[in-house]
């Protein structure tokens, strides 16, 4: 399994800042932020499955345009995997014929460009030898993280989350965990904002990592533009023993 980071920023503002989207091999996506927009049309047509963490714009921005761009070039619908709550929000507020057409009905209900597939937290989904499992998360809207398991090794992506003991309980059950991608959106000076928006800052991340029971390679995602250097400095000062690394666009993990 090859996992490629298309975007991992908490915002935009330059060619190196793309919001969250992760490609698994050539046919699976985790989230559809602006990083997805850098793929070519042939690459977009190969994507069969999209797993969403939640419905905030930085994680779904390119989904409507991707379906519109390549829907007619494909012989089957894009399957969007998400919790019932996420699907309900998308139907009501995005694919509602006001913000964007409902591609679950285009070109016909019988043969749509897109279909929703509800998932449940904790239930593994097997796709050609790869297992993807939604993990609990704690955010301002219904949200999950994901575990990606090749059989040989696993990668966990926290998604957007604040303190979440339930997620750590599931992470600690993964015996073959190799990579942990965890969010830290704000610097410590924005501690109050992090609490309100249910994100982490370095001091909060340090507390969260006390729950980790595995030796892993740790990568930091969702850093806010304008605070990247400060936040990473504070992370190094508070959790340097974990050898944290900043996640970067086009980084590739082999599992």
- Residue 111's pLDDT band, with cuts at 50, 70 and 90, is very high
Cα gap 46→193, rounded to integer Å:
39
What pLDDT does 16 receive? Answer: 87
What pLDDT does 14 receive? Answer: 84
User: What is the 3-state secondary structure of the chain?
Assistant: CEEEEEECECCCCCCCCCECEEEECCCEEECCCHHHHHCCHHHHHCCCEEECCCCCHHHHCCHHHHHHHHHHHCCCCEEEEECHHHHHHHHHHCCCCCCCCCCCCCECCCCECEEEEECCCCCCEEECCEEEEEEECCCCCCCEEEEEECCCCEEEECCCCCCCHHHHHHHCCCCCEEEEEEECCCCHHHHHHHHHHCCCCHHHHHHHHHHCCCCCEEEEECECCCCHHHHHHHHHHHHHHHCCEECCCCCEEEC
Residue 47 tokens, joined: 């994507």
Find the domain containing 243 and state its range. 2-254
The per-residue b/e assignment along 215-226, b for 16 or more CB within 10 angstroms, e otherwise, is ebebbbbbbbee
Q: The domain that contains 188 carries what CATH number?
A: 3.60.15.10
pTM for the structure as a whole: 0.97
Q: How high does pLDDT run on average in the chain?
A: 97
Residue 9 tokens, joined: 């920023």
What pLDDT does 123 receive? Answer: 97
How far is CA 206 from its chain centroid? 21
Question: How many structural domains does the chain have?
Answer: 1
Mean pLDDT throughout 68-95? 98
**pLDDT tens, residue by residue, 133-190:** 999 999 999 999 999 999 999 999 999 999 999 999 999 999 999 999 999 999 999 9
Mean pLDDT throughout 39-54? 98
């Amino acid at each position: 399994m090859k996992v490629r980071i298309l975007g991992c920023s908490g915002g935009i503002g330059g060619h190196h800042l793309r919001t969250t989207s992760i490609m698994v091999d050539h046919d699976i996506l985790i989230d559809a932020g602006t990083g997805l927009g850098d793929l070519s049309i042939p690459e977009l047509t190969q994507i069969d499955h999209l797993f969403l963490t939640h419905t905030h714009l930085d994680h779904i921005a390119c989904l409507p345009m991707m379906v519109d761009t390549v829907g007619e070039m494909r012989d089957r619908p894009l399957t969007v995997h998400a919790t019932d709550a996420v699907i309900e929000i998308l139907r009501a507020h995005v694919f509602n014929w006001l913000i964007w057409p409902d591609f679950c009905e285009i070109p016909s209900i019988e043969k749509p460009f897109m279909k929703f597939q509800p998932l449940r937290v904790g239930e593994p989904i097997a796709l050609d030898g790869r297992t993807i499992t939604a993990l609990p998360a704690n955010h301002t809207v219904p949200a999950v993280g994901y575990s990606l398991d090749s059989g040989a090794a696993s990668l966990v992506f926290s998604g957007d989350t604040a303190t979440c003991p339930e997620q750590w309980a599931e992470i600690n059950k993964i015996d073959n965990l190799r990579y942990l991608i965890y969010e830290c959106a704000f610097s410590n000076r924005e501690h109050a904002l992090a609490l309100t928006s249910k994100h982490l800052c370095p001091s909060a991340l340090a507390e969260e990592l006390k729950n980790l029971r595995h030796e892993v390679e740790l990568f930091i995602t969702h850093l806010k533009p304008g605070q990247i250097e400060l936040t990473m400095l504070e992370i190094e000062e508070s959790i340097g023993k974990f050898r944290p690394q900043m996640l970067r666009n086009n980084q590739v993990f082999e599992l």
